Structure 1
Amino acid sequence: SSDTISFRVNDAAWQQIELVIGDESVRFDDTFRITAHSTPNLSVLALNEGAPSPYIQAAFRAYNGFRLNNVNINTPPADWTEYNLVILNGCTRISAELGKQLAKAQQLGQTVCIFPGRTNNYTALNDGLKEISDISISGIDTASQAANTLQQGSTLVRDLFESIPENVQLPVANWHYVLQSGLTANRQSILSFRNGDPMFAQYSPYTGQLYILSTGIDLQSGNFPSSYFFAPSLYQMAVQSKGGNVYALTLGARQPAYIPLNNINDRNMVRLYHNGNEAIPPQRTYGAGLHVFLDEVVASPGFYTLAAPGSDTTIIAVNNNKAESDLATIDIGNIEDIWAGTDVQVVSADEISSKGGRSNWGSFPLWKVCVILALLMLAAETFVLAGSLRKPTAATE
């Protein structure tokens, strides 16, 4: 069974959260640690070919944690680095120059989402898509149909919903573009039609993610903007590129912590601090930040601080590997591998039964040990009885 705990954090600083099981009989692995940091200002850039979408505006205005900037797609800002999410809304063409800007944004770890407009000249969209990756539109399907498959294992859906109702209605598209992609695009279809065409797809050619809806988000195109997935997906896409908001790492899992820092070099590296100790963990550049590997310098669970000169502090939670507390048998071959090179011999039950209780530690049989112990006990008992018989005789004399 599982339970859900809801709580609200009013402080914008890092929060160190511990969930503790009050079981006195089992003290190991009874604490789960999480660090969380609220992100009150996530910036979204919407590049609109026509009027701004009322659905996008309503979604982001419903929550005050986002700043939405609507601009015309023909006059985009030169610098996109402040934006977490870039949306192309209603576009019927993507120039090669704009495609290069979109590719650069993804290389820096930003998320891009394309909500196209309908046009028969879809090759004008391919001009920009090919600058991003091996992605193209090969045709347009004008049949109205509902999505048939939801990929619940995708990162967007998995991180978005705790559970999805079994009877949830998937969105309907009145038309859709037929999307094609090569292996380098790393496509994952989140929503698919019955014939396998993607309705909503995720592409990962770079550090940042690219999402493409194969239909529009206007009333004539279908009901995706009023579906169960639209607004939550926008929120999650904006949060994805931010990185470093919640950390709960596991010891020994060799999973890196992504730190959104872009001013790191050989002389200005991230350092780890804990209980007055300092270490420099292995780290490498990843997108607009760093992947920091804590396993090389962390040996016990707890809260650890990562910081670099001139950068914000990040607090990481590290937990025990839950596999350590899962009671299960282990194969004798695995035991021998674990203790390889040590002065330990593993004896199987079959060897014990076939050798009549003998072990490999020596040739002395177990039954002889039992006989010797019995004789020693008999001698001790005889000595005690003999002593008690002599004492009355001495008293009579």
Structure 2
Amino acid sequence: MEAKKGEGYFMNKVVMTLLLLLCCIFLASCSFKDIDKRFFVIAMGIDWTGKKDKPYLVTLRLAIPASKVGEGLAESQIEATESTSIAEAVRSLKSHVDKELDFGHCRVFLFGDQLVKTSLDESLNWLSRRRDVQLISYLAVAEPDANQLLKANPTTERLAGNAFFLTFGKEGTVSPFIVTEYLFDSFRRFKETGLDPYLPVIAFDGDSYVVERLALLNKQKERLVLSPPETSLYNLSANAFKRSGIAINYKGERLAFYVSRASRSVTISRETIPTVKLELNVGGMVEQSPITVRGKNLAEIQKLLEADVNQSTLKLLYKIRDAGVDPYGFGLHYLAQYFGSEEDWKHWKSVYPSVKFEVNTHVKIESTGLVR
């Protein structure tokens, strides 16, 4: 009796083993490819050609590993093709290289100037669906187009694509003219009610990349490009960006004020035509002044700095309002402040072209610098 039980147990084990082996037949094999069989995409550009059959020009900058690292030694390969869609262009580019394209290290996506003026819907749709695209990637507008910009080779670049990372990641330069935009924030701005997107504008001057302007968009395309001074002022008033500067004329001479501390607050009145009140608190030091700054003229300089920021910011706010965009997110702030319903949002949209602004700046000169 015990022998029969033992035989039955053995047969059950055999049957289970055979079933497990049979299941293994239907398992897919691993598609992992070694690093030497991959091409790492470090930057991607998308341009609008205007052609009916092939409206998109997709450009990829591929990193080439090098044994030496140094200025001007960064090596990369450029591949580009035109296609009906971005996905088809990327699939077509796979036939141009001998390795698998890997977007896991792609941290920069550039949109051509004409594409931004047309529509970014398809580009963002493709980026949102790719599982290997990082949400912390940088976005920018390329002038004159992404293809030419990616072909440019900065003389100081030590690693392929490193100039982009140092510029937008603030690991290298930190400038008030550079407004960094991430992919995850763009997804939010293109979908969020009462908040509009923006993109920094990047160009090439023959030696290096230049980022000093900002493109403002509605939910589809570009509506306004800010000048360098306006970009710096937007960065200060919208992002409370430190390390910026304010310059005024004082007694016939140019005085420069360095901002080392900044904060902001916004309140919106609930009237038929709302008033947006923006309050800025700025602190810093006199960075340059041909005239000796003493206690008796300190208060006068502070008032002049405050008046200059108030006037410049008001002019910028009305310019942005008249362009029909809201990168500050005043509409979102209005809805949050008054627990806005759908009717409140409709009201805000109807009155936004007539919204009034008030700017109140407080400047504190904390140091006059070292005078020898």
| TM bin (shorter chain) | under 0.3
Q: TM-score, normalised by structure 1?
A: 0.21
Bigger share in helix? 2
Q: Which has the larger radius of gyration?
A: 1
